[in-house]
Amino acid sequence: MNTPNNLFYAKTHEWARKEGNKVYVGITDHAQHEITDIVHVELPEVGKKFDKEQPCAVVESVKSAFDIYCPVSGTIVEVNEELLSAPELINQSPYEKGYFFVLELANEEDFKSLMNAEQYTKSIEG
Amino acid sequence: MNYIPVSDKDKKEMFESIGVKDTQELLSLQIPETLRVKKLNLDKGMSEQQLISLFKKYAQKNKSNLACFRGAGIYDHFVPSIVDEIIGRSEFWTAYTPYQAEASQGTLQAIFEYQSVMCELTGMECSNASMYDGATAVAEAILLAIRASRKNKVIISGALNPEYISVIETYTKNLNIEIVKIDIDSKTGALNKDTLNKFLDESVAAVVVQSPNFFGTIEDMQELSKISKDKKALFVAVVNPVSLGLLKAPGEYGADIAVGEGQVFGNQMYLGGSTFGFMAVTKALEWKMPGRIVGQTVDKDGKRGFVLTLQSREQHIRREKATSNICTNAALNSFAACVYAAYLGSQGIKELAQTNISKARYAFDKIKNIKGFVPLFDNAVFFNEFVFKTDKNIDKINEELLKENILGPIDLGKIDSKYKNCIMFAVTEKRTKQEIDKLAEILSRV
Amino acid sequence: MMNNNKTLNEIESNRSTVIVESDVELNANVDDKYKRTTVPNIPNISESTLLRHYTNLSRKNYALSTTMYPLGSCTMKHNPLVNEKIAKFDEFATIHPYQNEESMQGSLEVMYELQKDLCEISGMDYFTLQPAAGAHGEYTGLLIIAQYFKNKNEKRTKIIVPDSAHGTNPASAALSGFEIISLKSDENGIVSPEKLKEVLNGDVAAMMMTNPNTLGVFEKNIEEISKLIHDNGSLLYYDGANLNAVMGIIRPADIGFDVMHINLHKTFSTPHGGGGPGSGPVGVKAFLKECLPSPFVVKDGDTFKLSFNDKQKSIGAMKAFYGNFPVILKACAYIKSLGGEGLTQASKQAVINANYILSKLKSKVKVPAGNSCMHEFAMSLKGALGNDIKTLDVAKRLLDNGYYAPTIYFPLIVEEAMMIEPTETESKQTLDEFIDTLLNIIEESKTNPEVVHNAPVNTSVRRLNEVEAARKPKLHW
């Protein structure tokens, strides 16, 4: 399972990548593997604010649907619209082409409670 | 009568295998004795022959097979023999919901064809597999518009079928949705675009308009749709499939959602109880649509097949977050409509619409010339239903008509006191010239 | 050989007759602004071609008339033919809903009789026949509960739903404006009064229960649960999906339920029609009568009338008119033909049939509910199968053997679940053959996994690509 070192992870299997004040958010390789073939996503509205751990998107396979929780609080500034017509990108490239959205970080502190790659790897093995 | 094919000898062997001596012991493993009921106080069962005579007796208390000039949501259209033959095949009517796709290709392809027919008729991109009836389809369309727009105000035409308005009220009252009803122009019998404009602003999620409306008038859907979309409201068209052989399709005037009652296609009236609602939407709304949807795909060997799809919208997966709670729909009734539409073909559907409007116009002209009957609306353009004002005794009119086995016009005053002394006639392709002439003759002498 | 795999639009034929003929002069011009400009792509084909098309399609279906349908919680029992015949009577088919009451006494009497009989079977005091399906009935019942508290000026916002419930339960509660509290079942798959106490408070409007539940187990603590719920000022809702287990054995109203729905297309033998129409009558105890939707049928001397509740106190209308009449008619005929004794026998035999299958399978599979069940049982195939074969594969292999597959992956609380409900209308021989087939497939999973994994091969298509169907939806021709 691929778990890049430069990312932060939530226990609900989202990752967050910080770029200045912007944060890219997606789901982990482990999560996409467990969900299996992703057929649809629902993305949040640009401009909407979310608190940390608030449900903000939905990812769906043929026979199931999962809420995606915001790993850090902030305002959505961009969503990855390509996923709407090609949700398989999440399976193929969970950390790059399959990101869900970008948000503007509201509280730097939120990162403190996220896991690093090592901790996350451990958590999914346990 | 019973339908249990298990003999006493079989039962004994079954009890042995289970390890109990009788039913009593078996039930006591599950249900505390104190909770048990002694017996059901119902009539004794009966044989098939007795059953048929009992229900013949009930049936004969109805005054049936009338020449029907009554509509208001349920219409008396002719149902060709092929419809009964096909939906009467037990491989269709005794089948379950097609969850196991490989064993249900007949039903699945039939639904796919139904969806295609509805898309073609309405000019929309996606149809679901059916809703319960027109009223619930309109209510669900409103919930869909609210979900998609994330706004909570909806404008509905006051000339929606009153049964639909009641159901909309029931469906929305606990959900913090504001319904604004706007009246039609009392002169033209249609919605006035300026009135709609007055109520419209960008807080409106959707505008719901029925055409032909409850009073039979054809609305200027093109114009109303444009005004609505200018204010970023979704446009919900409530339409009669029969009229679509002649009138503009919702897709042609940019509707976002098209819904309506499908009984008119291939289903008999049955006290208003053999219905289905249809719902068709734009591509943008397909993942937000309620109800089952069938899609085309391929099997392992690349052969074409059909499956229930976009299922993660539905209650069996999404539970309280589903787009609707609907599970069982009205599959067989919508299948009847598909067979009916296929039997008529595009040409037949056009002829059907033309015949309806022609006969309605013929009847309208006849009645207009009778003393004591005045059209309620000036210059209204109607499809197969129209309203007259009369100073005659409406109950008496209908009583006289019924004596001649004619089901006369509906007394609108009984539905809404605003329409006291108003009667509404529906004239379908099934009414003969002779029946219309007879109707006129009785109206003129009552 | 004829190609029977076309969709309608691919058929080339010609109309054989003029279908609609007008005996008045055509006078159909309308202003251009109203007029359709596009021609719908609906083919014009002959009756003979159309008949072949659909007759051939029908052969690609498994149906109750061709095989056993052991679908848990769906009660796929035989649909008696006489009921179909009665439902086709012209005297019922040609009635307009706005005829005056005197001219539709027969139809009203049928509705009245069914309302009355359902009251006797369930113990409830009043029934509405308006809801069009089970989920629609649940929705009606929950709106009734909401209305009851509204009429009392009491604010209650939550509904308790056990985690073994059908998906329609939480979906209907959400649609009615309630929040859902999901209640975990105990280790035996039933509702535990202790756990219930933890979530009960003044916000709880009602709890929904299916009894027997979806594991096929009777909720034996129902008396205690009912007391807890009612002492809390809340109501108890009965999901009638499994009523076929208990007709003439218990009555929901007698054991504490206040509101319930019934699926006529399950318990009362009306056909499923490939997914509908169904009918979901809702019954209530007398104190909830004013909340019922309008209209319902009452008897006044020798005549039958439509009666309307006070608009302010009732939930309003659930659909246009009075309910799915042909379904109501068939269910009424079913009850009249069986009578009280016949209905009781039906339930008892349904329980015997389920327990018989259970007795033959329980040494091979895990049955969370234990050694006995009501009219159905859920089992877990986890650990019973070899070579990474899953429940889904077993279901598909059953299709190869000519059976429709049981409900799978439900209830959600059972891993690799398969849920079997044989109903009372299957013979012992049919049950024996089904049991042998199932055991044989379990054996195959160990000895010849490929055939299970590749199943089905005997159906008109093989396993279908559902992922592509959802990713690139093609929803019409």
At B32 the pLDDT is 93
Interface of B with A (CB under 8 A): 150, 287, 310-312, 317-318, 321
Region of residue B415 (left: phi > 0; alpha: psi -120 to 50; beta: else): alpha
Would residue C53 count as lying in a domain? no
Inspect the interface and report whether the beta carbons of B23 and C351 lie closer than 8 Å: yes
Domain of residue B18: give its range: 8-60
Q: Are residues C364 and C324 in the same domain?
A: no
Would residue C21 count as lying in a domain? no
Check: CB of residue C242 under 8 Å from CB of residue C374.
yes
Domain boundary among B324, B340, B356: B340
Q: Which residue of B has its CA nearest to A59?
A: B312
Would residue B2 count as lying in a domain? no
Tokens of B176: 């913090």
Domain boundary among C311, C338, C365: C338
Residue listed under structure tokens 């009280």: C340
Inspect the interface and report whether the beta carbons of C91 and B62 lie closer than 8 Å: yes
> What is the band of B116 on the pLDDT scale with cuts at 50, 70, 90?
very high
Query: What ranges make up the beta strands (E) of C134-234?
Result: 158-162, 179-183, 204-210
For chain B, say whether A65 makes contact (Cβ under 8 Å). Answer: yes
Check: CB of residue B215 under 8 Å from CB of residue B189.
yes
At B316 the pLDDT is 85
Inspect the interface and report whether the beta carbons of A40 and B287 lie closer than 8 Å: yes
> What is the band of C370 on the pLDDT scale with cuts at 50, 70, 90?
confident
Residue-wise pLDDT for B367-383, tens only, equals: 999 999 999 998 889 99
DSSP class of residue A111 equals: G
- The C-alpha of C12 sits at a distance from chain A's nearest C-alpha, in angstroms, of 34
CA gyration radius, chain C: 25
Residues 187-216 of B with CB under 8 A from C: none
Residue-wise pLDDT for B88-115, tens only, equals: 999 999 999 999 999 999 999 999 999 9
Chain centroid to CA B272? 9
Dist. CA C82–CA A38, nearest whole Å: 48
Domain boundary among C303, C338, C373: C338
- Residue pairs spanning A and C at CB distance below 8 A: 13
Check: CB of residue B284 under 8 Å from CB of residue B292.
no
Q: Are residues B322 and B232 in the same domain?
A: yes
Would residue C162 count as lying in a domain? yes
At C165 the pLDDT is 87
Partner-chain residue, chosen from B41, B311, B314, that has the shortest CB–CB distance to C340: B41
Dist. CA C69–CA C361, nearest whole Å: 18
Q: Which residue of C has its CA nearest to A83?
A: C471
Domain of residue C312: give its range: 82-338
Inspect the interface and report whether the beta carbons of C470 and A39 lie closer than 8 Å: yes
DSSP class of residue C129 equals: -
Inspect the interface and report whether the beta carbons of B321 and A65 lie closer than 8 Å: yes
> What is the band of C253 on the pLDDT scale with cuts at 50, 70, 90?
very high
Q: Which residues of B touch C348 (CB under 8 A)?
A: 23, 27
Q: Are residues B233 and B139 in the same domain?
A: yes
Residue-wise pLDDT for B156-166, tens only, equals: 999 999 999 99
Domain boundary among C338, C363, C398: C338
Q: Are residues C270 and C168 in the same domain?
A: yes
- The C-alpha of C471 sits at a distance from chain A's nearest C-alpha, in angstroms, of 5
Tokens of C427: 């013979």
Region of residue C203 (left: phi > 0; alpha: psi -120 to 50; beta: else): alpha
Mutate to test the interface with C, among B271, B276, B286, B367 (most CBs of C within 10 A): B271
Would residue C314 count as lying in a domain? yes
Inspect the interface and report whether the beta carbons of B100 and C426 lie closer than 8 Å: no
CA–CA distances in Å: residue B431 to residues B75, B76, B150, B359, B361:
11, 9, 46, 8, 12
Q: Which residue of A has its CA nearest to B307?
A: A62
Q: Are residues B281 and B155 in the same domain?
A: yes
Nearest to C397 by CA among C355, C468, C448, C467: C448
Tokens of B379: 């210059």
Count of domains observed in chain B: 3
* Arithmetic mean of pLDDT, C377-402: 95
Residue-wise pLDDT for A3-12, tens only, equals: 999 999 999 9
- The C-alpha of B320 sits at a distance from chain A's nearest C-alpha, in angstroms, of 12
Give the length of chain C. Answer: 477
pLDDT at B432 over 60: yes
Residues 27-66 of B with CB under 8 A from C: 27, 29-32, 35-37, 39-46, 48, 51-52, 54-56, 58-66
pLDDT at A63 over 90: no
ipTM of the prediction: 0.97
Q: Are residues B220 and B297 in the same domain?
A: yes
pLDDT at B440 over 60: yes
Q: Are residues B250 and B268 in the same domain?
A: yes
Helices assigned H by DSSP within B69-133:
81-87, 90-93, 105-122
Q: Are residues B225 and B292 in the same domain?
A: yes
Would residue C462 count as lying in a domain? no
pTM of the model: 0.97
Tokens of C218: 């009777």
Q: Are residues B33 and B131 in the same domain?
A: no
Q: Are residues B177 and B291 in the same domain?
A: yes
Residue-wise pLDDT for B318-329, tens only, equals: 888 888 999 999
Q: Are residues B146 and B51 in the same domain?
A: no
Residue listed under structure tokens 């599959």: B331
Q: How many Cβ atoms sit within 10 Å of the Cβ of residue C187?
A: 7
Dist. CA A95–CA A89, nearest whole Å: 10
Would residue B3 count as lying in a domain? no
Mutate to test the interface with C, among A35, A59, A62 (most CBs of C within 10 A): A62
Q: Are residues B420 and B378 in the same domain?
A: yes
The number of C-alpha atoms within 13 Å of A85 and in the hemisphere containing its C-beta is: 4
Helices assigned H by DSSP within B173-243:
193-199, 221-230
Interface of C with A (CB under 8 A): 409, 466-467, 470-471
Q: Which residues of C touch A98 (CB under 8 A)?
A: none
Would residue B1 count as lying in a domain? no
Would residue C469 count as lying in a domain? no
Q: Which residues of A touch B310 (CB under 8 A)?
A: 40
Q: Are residues B252 and B279 in the same domain?
A: yes
> What is the band of C2 on the pLDDT scale with cuts at 50, 70, 90?
low
Inspect the interface and report whether the beta carbons of C348 and B132 lie closer than 8 Å: no
Q: Neighbouring chains of B at 3+ CB pairs within 8 Å?
A: A, C
Q: Neighbouring chains of A at 3+ CB pairs within 8 Å?
A: B, C
For chain C, say whether A82 makes contact (Cβ under 8 Å). Answer: no
What is the DSSP pairing of strand A49-50 with strand A55-61?
unpaired
Domain boundary among B313, B340, B367: B340
Q: State the CATH number of the domain containing residue B373.
A: 3.90.1150.10
CATH of span A8-125 = 2.40.50.100
Q: State the CATH number of the domain containing residue C396.
A: 3.90.1150.10
Q: Which residue of A has its CA nearest to C409?
A: A63
Inspect the interface and report whether the beta carbons of A65 and B287 lie closer than 8 Å: no
Dist. CA A86–CA A81, nearest whole Å: 9
Residue listed under structure tokens 């079997």: C420
* Arithmetic mean of pLDDT, B223-235: 98
Nearest to B98 by CA among A63, C62, C475: C62
At C16 the pLDDT is 65
At A126 the pLDDT is 65
Dist. CA C49–CA B343, nearest whole Å: 10
Q: Are residues B245 and B141 in the same domain?
A: yes
Q: Neighbouring chains of C at 3+ CB pairs within 8 Å?
A: A, B
Q: State the CATH number of the domain containing residue C231.
A: 3.40.640.10
Mean of per-residue pLDDT scores for chain B? 96
Burial of B387 (0-12, 13-18, 19+ CB in 10 A): buried
C137-148 b/e with 16+ CB inside 10 Å = b?
Answer: bbbbbbbbbbbb
Q: Are residues C329 and C358 in the same domain?
A: no
Q: Are residues C353 and C332 in the same domain?
A: no
Count of domains observed in chain C: 2
Dist. CA C218–CA B361, nearest whole Å: 63
Residue-wise pLDDT for B51-76, tens only, equals: 999 999 999 999 999 999 999 999 99
